[in-house]
Amino acid sequence: MKDVEKYIIKKLKPIIRGVREDMFGLCMHIVVGLPSNDKTIVYSVIEPIFRKWPHFSGSILYPIPDVCSGDPSDAFNNTFDMYTGEYGKLRLELAQFMIDNLEERLNART
């Protein structure tokens, strides 16, 4: 599991630094190019972290809450730049939350 956690951190850190595809959400940045089996493993690691995040929308598919309508799928499907405005701020906050959580787990094992 350590390798998966390190892989996820490696994929999330550039997003925080602004190196990202603005139309992709966090999951797409993490799993793009992975075989289906590996995607399943990644999701098994990140989904519990979503649930711990204080702003979790309640939807595993759309973990970022919609600050306007309240429907997280609307926010995701109607946003062209996932990293601007309040919605984007929350996405970056979740990315950092995920990094912190995964690093804490890795450090606890060493």
The pLDDT tens digits along the chain (110 residues) read 579 999 999 999 999 999 999 899 999 999 999 999 999 999 999 999 999 999 999 999 999 998 877 789 888 888 888 999 999 999 999 999 999 999 999 999 87
Q: Report pLDDT for 1.
A: 58
Reported pTM: 0.92
Terminal C-alpha separation, the chain = 13
pLDDT of res. 45:
97
What is the Rg, in whole angstroms, of the alpha carbon atoms belonging to the chain? 13
* Residue ranges covered by each domain of the chain: 2-104
Residue with tokens 């350590």: 2
